[in-house]
Every structure is written in C-alpha cells, then in structure tokens.
Structure 1
Amino acid sequence: MHSSARSTFNANFTAEKYQQFLKQLNQGLPHDVAFRVAETPIFLTADFRDQLIAAGEDILQTILQPNFKALTERAIPQKWRVANENDHPHFIALDFGICKDEAGNIVPKLIELQGFPSLYGFQSFLDDTYSEVFDINTSWTGYYGGMDKATYIALLKKTILGSYEPHEVVLMDVNAQEQKTAIDFFITQKYLGIPIIGLDELKQKGDQLFYESDGEDKLIKRIYNRLIFDEIDTGDDPLQNQVDIRQPLDIEWITHPNWFYRVSKFTMPFLHGEAIPKTYFLHELREIPADLENYVLKPLFSFAGQGVIIEVTNEDVAAIKDPENWILQEKVNYEPVIQAPDGGVKAEIRLLYLWPNGDAQPTLAINLARLSRGKMIGVRYNKEFDWVGGTTALMPKPLPNPPREGGL
C-alpha cells in the first residue's frame, strides 16, 4: 500500500471531517446509506494496481473461453433458470483479499467472483465525496484505463441503456426501496434517469412487461436486474403471486439472471494462476487434504457468506449430504496492511467490469473495497469496530504520454 499517501491522510484525519463526509454522502438522497462506510479510502501503489489488473485478466481468460457455458451449465439451479439467456454477462465482479505470500510480499488473492452488478453508481459518487471532503490530491483516481467520471458514466450508460430511452429501462429488485443497496439505486437513477421498481410492480400483458407511471402503463424493454433469487426463495413457488420472470418474455436482461450462477463460486475450480487459491468441488475430491485447517468449506448456492464453514473438520466434510453443491477452498489469510490510527486493518478489493453489447470483452472500469477487523469481511462481523466498512481503492493516475519530438 502507498505509505506516504496513508501517512498524509491519517495526519489530516479528524472525526469532524468524517461526520462531514457522512453528511455529504447522504445529502439529497431519499434514505441514508444503510451500511457502514469506512473513515478512509485505500491508497494503492501503481505496482499493486498492476498486480490486480493482471490477476483479473487471468480470470477473464476462463470466462471468455468458448466452452464456458458448457462448463457452467450445472451451476444454474433448475428452479431459478430463466429463459432467453444472452451470450455474456454485462457485469463481472472479482473480489481479491490483500494478503502476504510466503516470501513476505503483499499480493492479491481471489476470494469470490460474480456475474452480477455491484455498486456501480454509488462507487463513483463515493470517490467524489472522499476526494472533496478529505481534499485528496487530484493525482489519485478510482477509475481504470485512463477513464474519468464522464467517460465512466458514458460506459455505464452504454451498458445499461444501450440504444433505449431511460423510461424504457427499469432498475428492478424485490422491495427495491428498502434494500441495503438502495443508495446505489438512487444514484444510478440520478446518473441514468431510469425508474426504480419492485418485483411486485411488474405487470404482464402477453409476453410483454409494463410498469405504472403517472397513471399509465409504460412498456419495459430492458430490466437492469438487481434481484437475487436467494432473497425470495421462501417456498416451492415464491413467484405465484407476481410475474414469473423465469418464463420467455419479450425483454432484455442487463444482466441475465443465469449469469449470477455461472460466474460465481462455481467457477473457482476452473481457475488457475498465482492469485487463485486451490479450490475443489467437494464431490470430485479424491482425498481430504492433510492440512484441512488451511481450507474453508463453502456452499455453492448461498448469499453474503451464509453457510461458510471456516474451521473445517473431517466430520464437517463427512456430514455434507450434497457434496456436488459445495467447494473446498484454500483459506486466504488477509494481511492487515491498511494503517488505522490504532493499528492494522484487513482489506478486500472488488474489481468491477462493464461489458456492453457489441464489445468483444469486458472493460475494467472501477472498484469497491471493504475494510475489516472481524473474523470475516462482511458487515455482520464488524459491528463493534471503526475504520471498517465500505470504501474505495484509489490509485495513482497514469502519467500522460510525453510529447513526441518534432510536434505531434
């Protein structure tokens, strides 16, 4: 991590500035941020930024394989398979823990990945707010590939809106206004002009979907999908009282729900590279590793870290009744490299890619990060701490190319 930028930030930090930061973050929005936002961004060195980019590229090579769909067919639960799947995910998120290797070097290690949108709107707004309130030098950025806010928002629009008008595209989730991520919904609406609707607000006429606005039914051509089926998986037929979005419909999905399962923990055993922990499908495991204490046991179909067994025993493995739905993954040990005023803090960085229709491959655009002092990264493990929570990883801006001799 960038030591001089960290020293400067910490020396100028005050509790009053942090409160001003939170006030500015929530100003003008229907609801305050429902999750903890950390006191500080992360400051990456250019070298670690490049390590992250390279690790991401290695992972993308697997997702870009022509046979990737065939490899991941089993990932989609039949109960939640949705019709009319497209050729690629529009969003890819790769979570890397900041770790230390055997030689003592600080390195990224993949934790999880998902083919599903994350906080693409909020993170841009968060970068702005950190920079403004804490007066961060303009040589730092949260965008990749030389992008700035304007070019990033243009890419976001290209991905989500495509050729459609904002009123023809809806951001949809179950109980959308009440989600913990609703802050991202509101900011995305501000950037793109699209309506936010709940699953129960969808209306079906034939194979078309509509939403009501000012007393009129408006035709939906694209759904920016933020619904995770785990949240409505409450019985045999949880969609019986609302539109069954799994059926063939005259609609475009951004991104299609099947990609949530294809690009997920299910993908981990197919990945290779220095940043990839050893991962096995439990039913394909020939023998239990002798160093089982160095592994975690994860259910393939769970959300937000639920069901993960950290201190794995032989008895835990033997007790699994559906081993084809579990992975055994080498434990990733986070290194507390972020210096808070009272000691080190662990961190995770999520690389966020956008893949609009017509592009040959995804574009790394922005990131989000999370700080933790708890046993795991999630909010529920960090309730009693400060200098933890959601944040961003800032990087040195690429230097401009020097002018060529002789003019242009």
Structure 2
Amino acid sequence: MQKDLRAAFNQQFTEAKYDAYMKQIDGISPGNLDFRNAETPIFIPKAFTQKMLHACEDIIDVIVAPNFKALTERSIPDDVRVPGDEKHPQVMVFDFGICENEKGEYEPQLIEMQGFPTLYGFQLLQNEFTTAYAQVPANYSSYLNGYTKETYTALLKEIIVGDHAPEEVILLEIFPEQQKTRIDFYATQQLLGIQPVCLTNLKADGDLLYYVKSDGEKQYIKRIYNRLIFDDLQQQQNLTNIIDLKKAYNVEWVPHPNWFYRISKFTLPFIDNPYVPETFFLNEITQPVNLNEFVLKPLFSFAGMGVVIDVTQADIDKITDPQNWILQRKVNYAPIILTPDEPAKAEIRLFYFWKDEWARPKAAHNLARLSKGKMIGTRYNKDKTWVGGTIAYFEQ
C-alpha cells in the first residue's frame, strides 16, 4: 500500500534471503510451522489504520452495551453452552480485507470477528525476524497503541496467566500436536511457561480439573487459555472418555467458550459502520435482494466451511434453518500487493485485549494474510507464492 516501501522491498528481495528468513521462522519451534509464511509483510499508511480502528470502536460500542448478552443469547448452541462466569472476553480479533470501493478508493471492510484467541505468541516472535528481514523503517510498527515487544509480552502474561503460577494454567486444544496452528501453542509455552494440554487428557475430580504430567503427578488447573473450537471438536471421530464441559468446574476461562459464539458472524447484523458490510439474518429478510451482491455464510461452521460466494436462489431454497445463516454484502478485495507475478489480496487481523480494570478492550498487535485465490485460505492458494500468513506494519 505504501508504494515506496513496496518497491524497495521487492527490489531487494531474493530467494536466498527468504530461505534464510524461513529458517529463522521454523526455528521458533522446529518442524511445527504447518502453514505457509508469506515472502513479504504489508506496509499500512496511517489513514488506513485509523479507518480500521474507527470501525472497531463502533463494534466495541455494541459489545460493551448493557443489552449485548441478551442480544446474543441465541448465538450459543445449547449443546455447547458452557456454564461459568463470562464477565467479558479478555481477547477478541477483527479481520479486515483491504478493499476497493465504487470510487476506486482503498478502504478496509470487516470480514469477520471472533471472541477467541489467535496467533498471539507466534506473531510476537515472528515479528522480530520479519522486522530485520524486511528492513522495516523505524517509523513503522506491528504494534498498536504504543505497545512494544516488552509491554505486549507483559500484557499477554497478565491476560492469559493472571495471578496464577504458570503451571496452574493450561492451553487447551484437541490434539494440539496435530493442529496447523500448533507453532503458536509452543511459542506461547516459550513465552509464558504454560503447557498445551489435549482435551482427551483433561480429568475431573469433583469440580476440579487436572491432567497427569509426564512424571505421573496430577497437576490441578486453575485457569484455561481456551484454544478449543467446539465446531472442530465435533468433527472428531471416536472420541471417548471426554469430560463434559457443560458441567460447572472451579476454573477460570480465558476467554469463556461462550464468547466464541457471541462475538462472531452472529454479531454482524447489529453493526452500523461504513467499513462493516451490510449483513442480514437470512430468516429476517423481508424484501427481495440481489443475491449477486451477497455472500451466504452459516453461523456455525469450522474454518470457513459452508460459505457460498456465488449465491443462487436454489442455495437459499435448500436451507432448512435460515435463522442460522447470514447474507453479507460482497466486498471487492483489492489486488494491491505487487509481487513478481500477479498481485495479491490481503486481510489484516487486529488483536484486541481486555483487562478486568479496563472499560473497553484495546488494540495491541496483528497478523495479516495474503491470497491470490477467490478467498483467503490455504485451499485457495495451492502452488502459489507470495501468499500465506504474514504481519502488517503500521505507519506511526
């Protein structure tokens, strides 16, 4: 987006530099980088950053409103509702596409949001290598609101570990060693000292939870950094002896699992901002709409499955639960990142954190993704280069 920085990066790029950079990235946790790390970061001008932050503040106004929990109560499926104190989500993320409007201007458009963690640890470590590799100017930073590596790390520890000893806190997933994002689990373990634990290893002792360590001792758990997505869990086959998470346990959640559903595609119809695409619950549409202008999305799906880009009336007619689907106005991703062959499209994910003493969450860091396919994601970018995960640097 910053033409001078893009030209300078592309000019100095070599495959040898990229290979050396990737050895550093893989070195964060050797053999555990299971997604493509792109050749380039993204450079974001100050005005574009402010538009994204403005949209986030309008969304947060809805989230902090007294009626938000009542508004989103229907978003939580009964079969995955978890008891316990939800208070507020300690973490949330907002995904913006870099788009082109009808005037030919570049603008952010919200694609999705989650009351759920993302690659908080990996991006911190990746940033150190990318800053040097890309020769990022001093007046650009991957952090927001004045955060630095040191203050961001301290914030992450406050949010995830809290007042507990690290051994009393776990990162919960299903088969963490098999997940594509597992490098983040091990990066988080390095940074905070918390253990990734598989749900199959979690045991209940009354209302207490524990797992058995490698030395055979029980480790009781006081706080769970939740990376478990129930939609993913329900895809698993032949799981036995899993504890019932619908029971109440004496444990703190970061974030509470119900926030995964409250802050999600379900929230989009309630947002009014020029950088948030118009969105409707399918069952609440009373006037005809031009389906060519919308994307059809299920409220409950894993990793973007079920999304229909080129919507037809036949797609609508076969849906038996329209209350669980949304129509979201299409956005026009801008092929703005110049690469050695075709230009790439981009999304930026802003990381927000919410400490107990804060009235509102604050932006702190980011990740970005490049794509040359119809959608962002691995299966749309096979055999392509200059695509995949990366990081954005914001003009200060």
TM-score by length of 1: 0.94
Query: What one-letter code is carried by the residue in structure 1 that aligns with 2:162?
Result: G
State the superposition RMSD in angstroms. Answer: 1.4
What amino acid is the match of 2:185?
A: F
Pairing of 1:290-329 with structure 2 (within 5 A): 291-329=290-328
Paired residues of 1:159 and 1:356 also in contact (CA < 8 A) = yes
Question: What residue number does 2:366 align with?
Answer: 367
Deviation at 1:28, TM superposition (A): 5.2
Q: What SS does structure 2 have at the residue aligned with 1:340?
A: coil
1:135 shift after superposition: 3.0
TM-superposition CA deviations, 1:271-292 (whole Å, max 9, x none): 1110011110001110230x21
Matched residue, 1:396: 395
Tell whether the 8 Å contact from 1:223 to 1:251 is kept in structure 2 after alignment: yes
Q: For residues 45-60 of structure 1, what are the structure 2 equivalents within 5 Å?
A: 45-60=45-60
Q: Give the counterpart letter for 1:176 in structure 2.
A: P
Question: Aligned runs of 1:325-404 on 2, under 5 Å?
Answer: 325-397=324-396
Per-residue deviation at 1:30? 4.5
Query: In structure 2, how many angstroms separate the alpha carbons of the residues matched to 1:140 and 1:246?
Result: 45
Quote how far apart the aligned CAs of 1:62 are.
0.9
2:64 alignment partner in structure 1? 64
Q: Aligned ranges for residues 86-97 of structure 1 at < 5 Å? A: 86-97=86-97
Structure 2 distance, partners of 1:313, 1:20, is: 47
Q: Could you say which residue in structure 2 is the equivalent of 1:225?
A: 226
Q: Identity rate of aligned residues, in percent? A: 49
Cα pair distance change 1:110/1:28, threshold 3 Å: closer
Work out the number of aligned pairs and report it: 395
Q: Displacement of 1:263 after TM fit?
A: 0.3
1:129 corresponds to: 129
Shift of 1:86: 1.5
The residue type paired with residue 227 of structure 2 is R
Q: Which residue identity lines up with residue 223 of structure 1 in the other structure?
A: I
1:158 & 1:360 partners in 2: Cα distance? 16
**Matched residue of 2:386: which SS?**
coil
Tell me how far apart the structure 1 counterparts of residues 235 and 24 of structure 2 sit (CA, whole Å): 38
Where does 1:1-400 land on structure 2 (aligned, <5 Å)?
A: 1-27=1-27, 29-213=29-213, 214-234=215-235, 241-289=241-289, 291-397=290-396
Alpha-carbon shift at residue 238 of structure 1 (Å): 7.7
Shift of 1:357: 2.5
Q: Is the 8 A contact 2:39 2:386 kept in 1?
A: yes
Post-superposition, which runs of at least 4 consecutive aligned residues in structure 1 deviate over 3 A?
237-240
What's the offset of the Cα at 1:256? 0.5
Task: Report the alpha carbon displacement of residue 44 of structure 1 after superposing the two structures with TM.
Answer: 0.5
Deviations 1:273-324 (A, max 9, x none): 10011110001110230x2101011110002110011111112112111101
Q: CA deviation at 1:240?
A: 5.3
Map Cα deviations across residues 353-397 of structure 1 (whole Å, 9 max, x no partner). 011223221110111110000011111100121000001110123
User: TM-score if structure 2 supplies the norm length?
Assistant: 0.97
**Matched AA of 1:67:** N
Taking the aligned partners of 1:323 and 1:355, their CA distance within structure 2 comes to: 33
CA distance in 1, matches of 2:139, 2:167: 37
CA distance, structure 1, for counterparts of residue 240 and residue 189 of structure 2: 29
Gaps of 5+ in 1: 398-408
Matching residue's letter, 1:126 = Q
Moved more, 84-93 or 324-333: 84-93
Indicate the residue corresponding to 1:402 in structure 2.
Answer: none
- SS in structure 2 opposite 1:338? coil
Provide structure 2 residue ranges, at least 5 long, that are not aligned to the other structure.
Answer: none
Contact 1:95/1:350 (8 A) holds in 2? yes
